[in-house]
């Protein structure tokens, strides 16, 4: 995959530690309504939504690891390849450097194979499947954390359990089995992230009656769900009303 192993390991761990925190989550952090600019109105139209989905499915992964697009906001530039990136602590920086070396070695191997087999072979056998994998990775993750029923929290309301429950299982049909059920057992994955994938279905069945209304599942066909979430989940805004908490944010699309 040419994925930055240690870099992603550490950022993903922080995602699990800070899920649904508007200040500290590491991936798919939604924008607040107050932070939208004038161009947002263009992106909130049908052509704009289609554009966002195409970008998400094709280069969304690369934009995240290279430029921290949709990631946590830092005071300085952040990416998954710079050992001095603000994403990482001092004790993690050497592993980031090792990751970069590994990526260079892997890239060189791909280059040498391409020189032997030809560009057409390399595109068809390696890069085309790679783009598909990147697309699946980003879409699955995005849909797990994007739904009108999923709240986000600022520091006044967030805690780990609330964040872990702010994710949703989805039904991908036969792909549930192909993808080791990461698609329909993601809630359990966030609550008990050390459980191996082959026990995730059993864990999900066990937690459903315990969580009750706090367990989230959506069986909407995935393509339909993608368009719906791109339409309805454009930004988050705080609950309104005197009896509502200002630290709890919900998805909306009415600018």
Instruction: Please report the pLDDT score of residue 130 as a whole number.
Output: 96
Tokens 């699990």 sit at which residue? 16
Q: How many CA atoms lie within 13 A of 169 on its CB side?
A: 24
pLDDT of 33 strictly over 70: yes
Instruction: Please report the pLDDT score of residue 244 as a whole number.
Output: 67
pLDDT of 240 strictly over 90: no
pTM for the whole thing? Answer: 0.94
Choose between 241 and 162: higher pLDDT. 162
Q: Where in the chain are the domains?
A: 5-168+216-252
Find the helix or strand (DSSP H, E) in which 218 lies: strand 217-218
Query: What are the tens digits of pLDDT across the range 91-140?
Result: 999 999 999 999 999 999 999 999 999 999 999 999 999 999 999 999 99
């Amino acid at each position: 995959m040419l994925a930055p192993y240690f870099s992603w390991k550490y950022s993903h761990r922080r995602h699990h530690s800070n899920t649904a925190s508007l200040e500290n989550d590491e991936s798919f952090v939604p924008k607040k309504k107050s932070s939208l600019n004038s161009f947002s109105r263009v992106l909130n139209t049908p052509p704009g939504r289609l554009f966002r989905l195409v970008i998400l499915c094709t280069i969304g992964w690369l934009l995240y690891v290279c430029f921290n697009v949709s990631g946590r906001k830092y005071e300085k530039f952040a990416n998954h390849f710079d050992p001095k990136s603000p994403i990482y602590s001092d004790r993690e920086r050497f592993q980031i450097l090792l990751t970069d070396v590994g990526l260079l070695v892997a890239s060189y191997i791909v280059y040498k194979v391409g020189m032997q087999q030809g560009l057409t072979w390399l595109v068809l056998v390696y890069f085309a499947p790679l783009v598909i994998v990147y697309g699946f990775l980003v879409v699955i993750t995005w849909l797990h954390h994007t739904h009108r029923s999923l709240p986000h929290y600022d520091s006044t309301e967030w805690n780990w359990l609330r964040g872990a429950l702010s994710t949703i299982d989805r039904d991908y049909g036969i792909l549930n089995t192909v993808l080791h059920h990461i698609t329909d057992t993601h809630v359990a994955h966030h609550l008990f992230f050390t459980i191996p994938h082959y026990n995730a279905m059993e864990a999900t069945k066990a937690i459903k009656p315990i969580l009750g209304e706090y367990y989230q599942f959506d069986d909407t066909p995935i393509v339909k769900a993608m368009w719906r979430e791109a339409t309805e989940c454009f930004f988050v805004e705080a609950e309104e009303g005197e009896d509502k908490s200002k630290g709890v944010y919900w998805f909306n699309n009415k600018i």
